Amino acid sequence: MLKTRDLLIEIGTEELPPKSLKSLATAFSEQMCLALNEVELDFNDSSWYATPRRLSLLITDLDITQKDKEHQRRGPSLSVAFDKNENPTQATVGFAKSCGVEVKELEKLESGKGAWLVFNTILKGKKTNEIIPGLVEKSLGRLPIAKRMRWGNYNIEFVRPIKWILILFGNKTLNCEILGIKSGATSFGHRYHHPGALEIKSPSGYSDILRNKGHVIVNYNERLSLIRSQISSVAKNSKGNAIIDPGLLDEVTSLVEWPVSFIGNFDQKFLKLPKEVLIATMQDNQKYFPVTNDKKELMPLFICVSNIESNNLELIKKGNERVIRPRLSDAVFFWEWDLKYGLKNHRQSLKEVVYQKDLGTLYDKSDRLVKTLSLIGEKINLDINSAKTAAALCLCDLLTKMVSEFPKLQGTMGRYYAKAEGENNDIAIALEELYQPRFAGDKLPKTLPGQCLAISEKIDSLIGIFSIGKAPTGDKDPFALRRSAIGILRIIIECEIDIDLKDLLSTAASTFSNKNQSLNCINDVYTFLMERLRHYYRDEGFSADVFESVFAINISRPLDFHHRMVAVAEFRKLSEAKSLAAANKRISNLLKKSEEIDSVKIKNNLLVEKSEIKLARKLEDYKKIITPMIDNHNYKSALTELAGLRKVIDNFFDNVMVMCDEPDVKKNRLALLSNLNFLFLEIADISKLQD
């Protein structure tokens, strides 16, 4: 049995980017494991550690050498290996020489495919500690680093300057040089609590020594949980609840090695600011966690996670309070300035902001939205005037001081400023809802004007960007059009807006100044949307054949499409589904094969067999029942009814020969089947269903 040891690697650096720390550390560990697998070194387990100043990993029970391996090199074919006199040919001598052996040491390999001279040898496995440096360097080279940097006078590139490298294999230092840095057995503790070197004696003792002597909690997830519980208890002490944004929690975990959380105050007067502004100031600018009371209202408090156990925490608290005050004062300044200036007054200035080269300014865009909305409004029951007002106002907040300071508050500030200007609630809310859904799984607009505005804006982006030839390709989607497309579909389906996509597209396309371009791309955008619809249903757990069955009949109203999807998915569960699907497949094959039938009219006098007479009669009955159901989009009942046809259809196929010799009877039978087929196709192409 091979011996194993634990391997510890720590890359000490200057402060790493907090938003990518976790992905860097996990990638380092993954890449290292991958590299070990590639060289066939086994190990038991791997764990990763990450702090602002280190990326580390621990691999347990790693082989200390590679296994020996049998190796065979194939030389010349036997037919050319020796001459007539049984002397080795030039090729054989050369091969033996290249293997470093005499010809007599070569062996013969014979198989069904031929016979060759071969050289069999055993490759000694390399020692792991000789291999590791190369693997570490390779793994570091594969990290997902957005921008690599250089420093000093070196020709090395990494995410931040490397300060030290610690490698322990078993209890021994593995001496080597990686990215120009000599490895050793020392780590370093917290920047201020223990700036000096820390001897690490064994890989397994790493995290304890760092914690107990170094004031560093190297385990990322442990640090994250600690911070979360500190924040909650600090908030509780002030009778509040902390708002813990998961992204911020990750960021803060990546900014500290020794978290110490505390609560600070800000002036009550700032609570008059919109709560989104207060939260953005605290979270984005200062990495603070906001606190709410029982009624979910913000309290004039913030929680800060510091990186030091100071003997004068009051000093740190006061310092932070001194910082948030001017930040909030600035926010008040922006708020009051924007209120004074007015939202409407930005409309004309939108003419100066280019939306997209070739697609005009933001003003042009908002103008298109006004037009699109009026046209949509004619089709559904929408208060056109408020919708138009909303469309005219919706991009104005992009020019406010608050949104230039906090771009993510676009829409939200529009809502506040519109309300302050006396616009009605629906309009104000629509301005914010325009941007929804902002991400996968985000909430959808609640108001009809908001829904229509959100759809119009997204359709406008799709057509615009497609028309200038910048449609998404592969994994490149710089304008996030896939998200826009899903947004449109989700709103239409989940908010139940019965609107035709093709209509919508030509309506929106007609508002562009370069109509040639915009009208030309309608089909592409439609295909793109349908492709997204396919993904939508896949994510919603519908099976692919259900989608295909509805997709096949070209339904361009997504809401209608959806009703059919639900009905077919239900139908698919019925015991009759399988044989009806098979029957439909058979019918469509028959119809495909046969020449065109001149008439789909069934001539009763040509019906011969009992089972076809029965089918024809049933068909008539079912048509009468089902047509009104389909008209009412009650596809589920329609399909449930149609399931009742199974027996008659099965009987038909069991007893009737469709492609019979008598041409008129045959034609009539095909007409009968065509009618049947048509009845199903009114709902979906059931023949697409798979077992």
Partner 1 sequence: MAQEKKQNSTDGSGLSFQELIFELQKYWANQECVIVQPYDMEMGAGTFHPATFLRTIGPEPWRTAYVQASRRPTDGRFGENPNRLQHYYQFQVVLKPSPDNIQELYLISLKAIGVDTKKHDIRFVEDNWESPTLGAWGLGWEVWLDGMEISQFTYFQQVGGLDCKPVTGEITYGLERIAMCLQDCSDLFELAWSRTKKAKVTYGDIYHQNEVEMSRYNFDLANTDALFNWFDVCEKESQKLIEEGLSIPAYEMTMKASHSFNLLDARGAISVTERQRYILRIRSLSREVAQSYLESREKLGFPLVKN
Task: Give residues with Cβ within 8 angstroms of 509, minimum separation 6.
Answer: 463, 467, 515, 518, 519, 521, 522
Instruction: Name the minimum Å distance from CB 323 to partner 1.
Output: 4
**What is the DSSP code (8-state) at residue 2?**
-
Tell me the backbone φ, ψ of residue 513, rounded to 5 degrees.
-75, -35
Instruction: Name the minimum Å distance from CB 390 to partner 1.
Output: 23
Q: Judging by beta carbons within 10 Å of its beta carbon (0-12, 13-18, 19+), is residue 651 exposed, middle or buried?
A: middle
Beta strands 241-242 and 197-199: pairing type? unpaired
Give the whole-angstrom CA distance, residue 3 versus residue 62. Answer: 8
**Cα 234 vs. chain centroid, distance in angstroms?**
35
Name the CA dihedral angle for 463, 465, 468, 474, rounded to a multiple of 10 degrees. Answer: -120
Residue in the structure block whose two tokens are 């046969």: 594
Separation of CA 106 from chain center: 57
* Short-list 437, 444, 350, 429, CA closest to 387: 429
Q: Which is nearer to partner 1, 193 or 603 (CB)?
A: 193
- DSSP states of 180-200: TEEEESEEE--TTT--SEEE-
Which one, 93 or 308, has the nearer CB to partner 1?
A: 308
**Per-residue CA distances from 162 to 157, 165, 677 (Å):** 9, 8, 71
Nearest to partner 1 of 172, 322 (CB atom): 322
**Cβ closest to partner 1, residue 315 vs residue 660:** 315
- The total of other beta-carbon atoms located within 10 Å of residue 207's CB is 21
The answer to whether residues 199 and 185 touch, using CB atoms and an 8 Å cutoff, is yes
Q: How far apart are CA 189 and CA 196, in angstroms?
A: 7
Residue 415: how many other CB atoms lie within 10 Å: 24
Q: Which residues bind partner 1 (CB under 8 A)?
A: 14-19, 52, 147, 149-153, 160-161, 163, 191-193, 255-256, 286, 304, 306-308, 310-312, 315-316, 318-320, 322-326, 329-330, 332-333, 352-354
- Alpha carbon 657 to its chain centroid, in Å, reads 53
CA pair distance 65, 236, nearest whole angstrom: 54
Cα 134 to Cα 30, 128, 394, 427: the distances in Å are 16, 11, 56, 62
DSSP for residue 149: B
What is the amino acid identity at position 134?
G
Least distance in angstroms from the C-beta of 269 to partner 1: 11
Report CA-CA distances (Å) from 447 to 211, 426, 431, 498, 557.
Answer: 53, 7, 11, 15, 20
In the complex, the smallest distance separating the C-beta of residue 194 from partner 1, rounded to whole angstroms, is 11
Nearer Cβ to partner 1, position 13 or 207?
Answer: 13
| CA–CA separation, 70 and 307 (whole Å) | 55
Beta strands at 177-178 and 241-242: parallel, antiparallel or unpaired: unpaired
CB of 461 to partner 1, least distance (A): 20
Is the CB of 403 or the CB of 501 nearer to partner 1? Answer: 403
CA distance 184 to 334: 53
Q: What are phi and psi of 499, to 5 degrees?
A: -140, 145
Q: What's the burial of 274, exposed, middle or buried (CB within 10 Å: 0-12/13-18/19+)?
A: middle
